[in-house]
A and B are shown apart, each in its own frame.
Chain A
Amino acid sequence: MTRIEIQFKGILSGKALGKALVSRQPLGFYGDIDEDGILVAKGHPCEGCSVADCILIYPEAKGSSAGCMMLHWLAKRGRKPAGIVNTQRLDPNLVEGAILADIPLLCCPELDVYKWVATGDRVEIDGQSGLLVKM
């Protein structure tokens, strides 16, 4: 497999390494993900997957502002994603949640990330430099 680097805007600093969990649909941490970190959105291609320790890649956060405290809850229980990558829009409530849960966050890619990264790929992100590396 070829190593691929994609430049993002680094939003929240920190480094994370993990398996990518890629969703082409927006996700809400309150509603789409349960208290154990399982993706429960009905009919979602990743329904039943755990977000714990993953690099979660999706267009943008949606839904209730309660998603913020959900991320904090997942962090407290050791079920939080290792990193979050948003490809379209930065939602303030998601940023709040990621700050509380201390999760590195990237946004605004320079390349079409969905073309190069698929669920299960090993990726590393650096919230300081904004770099995503597919191993």
Chain B
Amino acid sequence: MRLTCSEKDLLSGKEGPVKALAMSHLVKLGEAFDAEEMVDITYAHMSSGSALRSGEIDYLSGLSDQGARVKVPTSSEVIAVDLRDPAAIGAPPSLVKDYRRLLAVHTRMGIAATYTCVPFTQGYVPPKGACIASMESAAIIYFNAVLGARTNRCGFFVLFAALTGKYPKIGYLLDKNRLGTHLVSVQTNLLNVTDYGALGYHVGRLVGGGVPVFQGLERPRQEELIMLGAGLATSGTVAMYHIPGITPEAPTTAAALGGEAPGERISVNTGDIQAVYQHLCTASHNTVDFIYLGCPQYTLEQIRTAADLLTGKRVHPDTTLWIGTNRMAFAMARRMGYHEIIKKAGGKLVCDTCPVDSFLRLDALKKRGIQQPAVQTMLTDSAKQAHYARTTLGCNTLVDTVHACIQTAVRGK
């Protein structure tokens, strides 16, 4: 791999041992995937490190003890508890203590403690063509497809990218890997955000690691694009899609396909969307004990809708309602009075975490000697959440619109 003078300096330790180690790891990664050179990245979204998994917090803490600080703006992924009000959701105090320690490590390293899966709603909006390093499949696909920034499906090494401002030029950083592979004709009306998640989930299963090009979508709203991407990246490993006219690098279908004929054509009808709901609904509404809205984390607008639906209502004592969001949307929701409405109704506006990454996970419960799942049946408005909740929480799932979710939360089982 060709390295520039400044990259060689990083590697030889001129900026200290931590950056040298980080650079050496990135060079090995690049060589493994036949990279010819490194690129400068301008932003990183990294895994926060989990207290549920041994060694992760200690690893980061060890780097920060050596004075490691990030070189580019860096945001961080959801954690296993809500540090704002951990008791409200029953987070175990020992875990909360671990995460307070982690927060101190992040702060020392200059990593923004966003604890979010949707950093692009919080000021991290890299422009078209910007090379970045991101984990979190729902964020990766939004950066690539909606903003036109460039990231791979990165993992733990985002940390090293953040420390050095470098990443090997591989995968979705290269033009040729971003072109459409499947032409998807949507021949059904999508009625709400949840339907967009179901569409993504259906198409992800068909295209695997491909790059779908959509035809027949009206002008989707931001929340619909977030949900579409989350679905695609759940059932498949999709990191990029095109909606001609919306995806910055795809003014036309021809441009999205690089002037070639599509490798495959797919047509989606109403029955395909219904089949996703059938697949993800494994119980009846009368067994629901947990309702989750906010996968990906709710925007302020979605919180407003939920608050409107909850105004003057009361969540049934047999059901738990979490609405997941991030600190920025939370602050605005408090200012606008939505938090008060949700709280008064008995719902919980939750920050920092997500059920499927939280202390409710089966593996987290097991470590505390609890053998029973915490949730029996989860109702959610997100195909992605239902998909992961089944295995990580060991529960049944149901997927329905936000209106139906809140109706069930109020009515109870």
Contact = CB atoms under 8 A, between A and B. Distances in A.
A69 B28 contact: no
Given A65-B47, A99-B29, A105-B32, A92 B53 contact: no
Contact of A69 (B59, B135, B171): B59
Given A99-B29, A105-B32, A70 B53 contact: yes
Interface in A60-95: 65-66, 68-70, 72-73, 76, 90, 92-93, 95
Interface string B6-50: 000000000000000000010011001100000000000001001
A96 interface: yes
Contacts of B301: none
Given A69-B56, A73-B54, A93 B156 contact: yes
Task: Please classify how large the interface on chain B is, using the bins under 10, 10 to 19, 20 to 34, 35 or more.
Answer: 20 to 34
Q: Which of A30, A35, A76, A96 has the most CB of B within 10 A?
A: A96
Contact of A11 (B25, B32, B50, B153): B32
Interface residues of A, number: 21
A53 to B, nearest CB: 19
Given A69-B56, A73-B54, A93-B155, A100 B29 contact: no
A96 B55 contact: no
A12 interface: yes
Nearest to B52: A66
A96 B53 contact: no
B152 interface: yes
Contact of A95 (B29, B54, B59): B29
Contact of B29 (A30, A65, A73, A92): A92
19 contacts: A35-B54, A65-B47, A65-B155, A66-B50, A66-B53, A69-B53, A69-B59, A70-B53, A73-B53, A76-B55, A92-B29, A92-B33, A92-B153, A92-B154, A95-B33, A96-B155, A97-B156, A99-B29, A105-B32
